[in-house]
Chain A
Amino acid sequence: MHPAHSIIIFTVTSGLGFGLLAFLGLGQPAVTGWSAFWYFALGYALSVGGLVSSTFHLGNPQRAWRAFSQWQTSWLSREGVLAVATLTIMGIYAFCAVFLGQTLIVLGIIGAILALATVFATSMIYAQMKTVPRWNHWSTPALFMVLSIAGGALLTAHVLLAVILLAVAGLLQMASWTRGDTALAQSGSDIGTATGLGARGIVRAFEPPHTGNNYLLKEMVHKVGRKHAQKLRMLSFILMVLVPVLLLLIPGGWVIVTLAFLVHFVGTLTQRWLFFAEAEHVVGLYYGKR
């Protein structure tokens, strides 16, 4: 799949933002006044910034409001509805915490659940794709969720929890890569089933329908990243999990935690780039590109 910058930035930053908002909703830390203001400002900057970034890849962003209507069937629509619900509930919660010095516990818990549900809906947009066997697995939402909560733990300096969650994310990531590498082969789809000619012999794409490029090839048959995939996997694992965990084991307070977060952020961007670049869409079978 084509690794669109806007979508990579969106999924990473909104994941972190909603993770942070979930911690704030649960009163971890239970902040009021100015310190609450800065916490919520960061949470909203990340989550709203991500959502705004996601509209940049739309062909007609002026109609984006219509995306709230089809929550009954569409995970993308559910994500939009949940995001707005989270931001509204947490907005009231934040207002009371910042300006009135009040912590509305029940509202916070609802907001935290909605925040995590939003991240889940985001991950299901990808996990539901039967056409992309690498994504079509429970490990996709699991990894999105763990990374989001780990990000929240990092941003609220829950050091022990962050170390544990980052370790879990690392294990999930390894499992996801290992399974993903054989996912297409095990999906049962190949050039034989794609053309329906598989029973007759060995099928080979002889001549493509067009000599130039097209939307399908640009969007769904991206291959550039696979050349350096192994190196990038190492790099993303080191930055996303290994270095942050080692840093967090050093007792150093805020400076170390901030540094660990920044390294983790870059690592997660790399991981998310690979998430798209390595994903094989079955339409590539028609072009003999799998």
Chain B
Amino acid sequence: MLNTQRWRPVVGVAVLTSALCATAGFAQPLVNPQAAALADFSKRVPAYFDLTKKAAEGLPALKRTDDPAEISSREVALGDAIRAGRAGARPGDILTRDVARVFRKIIKKDFRQRSRGGQKVMRDDIPHFRPKVNQTYPSAWPLATFPATLLAALPVLPVGLEYRLLSDALILRDVRANIIVDFILDVF
């Protein structure tokens, strides 16, 4: 379920930036590139959810069950439906180049500020594979723990999507379908 309230601050920053530029009377309105990128991100995520909602039409709802086969078959079916629904998806569709620039800056800064021990913990058990859009997250790899303080510095994602770190990438992962939705390379 998408919680639109969480996106309001991000959108608000962008709107406020635009308004300030307008009232200042600039012919070329000044735009805070970071806020604009995040505002754009905040629109692309709901659009992805709309797509997945359509893709899930006809699939049984994921509910609590004693039968693990139901869980895995629902996960696989949803993944297949999403893949079919965005067959033409490319890296950067959601994590655009501008969003990537902002996120890289945040992650690199966070990483640099950590002690050597902190950096070790952050990269502990981190998976080493090259991500692809629409790829099923390989079960052979753990889901590397996402540092809580870094998580607090990134936009909160709606339930069903999460950030994860790979050896040199940030991925956007659909938890319900266990697929990689988008990714950014060179984040450390």
Partners in one complex: no
